[in-house]
């Protein structure tokens, strides 16, 4: 600023040199402005460095994410049936259940039983993982015989018998689904281990035009069991 004051004092008019004096004044003012600007830039840069060197207050750590809830096992529906008795209608029933509950929720055919394994244990384990067993009963469900003329339902090795027995033993809901106009067999016509089946409330599934209506009732009943599982 001293230079600026001196420049103003020098601005007194002098005869014969007025133009030169004003030129000197303007140059002096420009120099002063330039020096002031440089000085301000130096001060600003110094303050910025001081702020950068000052440790900032640490921000509070973010709270940890809530633990993920373990996924609940998807409920499954096991369809038990005899191929020789009701394969066609069981296929239609299975398709509707898959549309309603999803492919992974409907278990219709036991996968190939590994060689050397106990098929009884394999079947029981498969049934034990389900929440509802749908027993499709046709007109020949209880009367089909083996090659020796013995009723297959009377054989402890019968796959269908093992499936239904396993569900009854574990108190898994068993829904008899009556097709082809069949009825639930009388208790005295069943092996002792299957007699509780005769007292399970059944759902008939009739051909078209009643098929879809009957399936809607069946699926409502299944949903009621799954909601409690």
Neighbours of 198 (CB within 10 A): 15
Query: Which comes out higher in pLDDT, residue 76 or 56?
Result: 76
State the greatest distance between any 2 C-alpha atoms of the chain, in Å, as a whole number. 146
**Dihedral sign of CA atoms 113, 117, 122, 125 in order:** negative
pLDDT at 72 exceeding the cut of 60: no
Given CA atoms 152, 166, 203, 196 in this order, what sign does their dihedral have? positive
Q: DSSP label at 190?
A: S
Output phi, psi for 7, to 5 deg.
-65, -35
Tell me what the pLDDT averaged over the chain comes to: 82
Return d(Cα 197, Cα 168) in angstroms, integer. Answer: 8
Q: For residue 38, what pLDDT is reported?
A: 73
Confidence of residue 20 (pLDDT cuts 50, 70, 90): low
Q: What are phi and psi of 37, to 5 degrees?
A: -60, -45
Give, in degrees to the nearest 5, the angle at Cα 97 between 73 and 94. 115
**Whole-prediction pTM:** 0.67
The pLDDT score that the predictor gives to residue 141 is: 97
Percent of the chain surpassing pLDDT 90: 61
Q: So what's the pLDDT on residue 166?
A: 96
Of 86-100, 103-117, 169-183, 187-201, the one with minimum mean pLDDT is 103-117
SS3 letters for 98-152? HHHHCHHHEECCCCCCCCCCCHHHHHHHHHHCCCEEEEEECCCCCCCECCCCCEH
pLDDT tens per residue across span 199-218: 999 999 999 999 999 999 99
Residue 136 has pLDDT above 70, yes or no: yes
- Residues 6 or more apart whose CB falls under 8 angstroms from that of 167 comprise 78, 80, 127, 130, 133, 173, 174
For 132-158, give one letter per residue: b (16+ CB within 10 A) or e.
Answer: bbbbbbbeebbeeeeeeeeebbeeeeb
pLDDT at 53 over 60: no
Contact 97, 79 (CB under 8 A): yes
**Band of pLDDT at residue 62, cut at 50, 70 and 90:** very low
- Residue 154: the pLDDT is 96
Residue 75 and residue 225: Cα distance in Å, rounded?
10
């Amino acid at each position: 600023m001293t230079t600026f004051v001196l420049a103003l004092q020098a601005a007194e008019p002098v005869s014969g040199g007025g133009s030169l004096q004003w030129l000197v004044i303007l140059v002096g003012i420009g120099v002063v402005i330039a020096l002031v600007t440089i000085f301000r830039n130096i001060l600003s840069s110094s303050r910025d460095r001081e702020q950068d060197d000052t440790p900032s207050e640490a921000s509070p750590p973010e709270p940890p994410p809530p633990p993920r809830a373990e996924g609940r096992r998807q409920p499954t529906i096991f369809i038990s049936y005899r191929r020789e008795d009701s394969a066609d209608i069981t296929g239609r029933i299975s398709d509707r259940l898959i549309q309603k509950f999803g492919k992974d929720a409907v278990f219709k055919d036991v996968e190939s039983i590994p060689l050397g394994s106990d098929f009884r244990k394999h079947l029981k384990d498969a049934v034990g993982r389900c929440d509802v067993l749908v027993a499709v009963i046709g007109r020949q469900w209880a009367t089909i015989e083996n090659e020796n003329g013995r009723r297959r339902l009377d054989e402890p090795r019968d796959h269908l018998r093992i499936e239904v027995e396993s569900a009854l033993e574990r108190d898994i809901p068993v829904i008899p689904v009556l097709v082809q106009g069949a009825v639930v067999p009388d208790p005295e016509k069943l092996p002792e281990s299957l007699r509780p089946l005769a007292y399970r409330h059944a759902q008939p599934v009739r051909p078209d035009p009643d098929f879809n209506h009957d399936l809607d009732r069946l699926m409502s009943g299944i949903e009621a069991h799954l909601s409690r599982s």
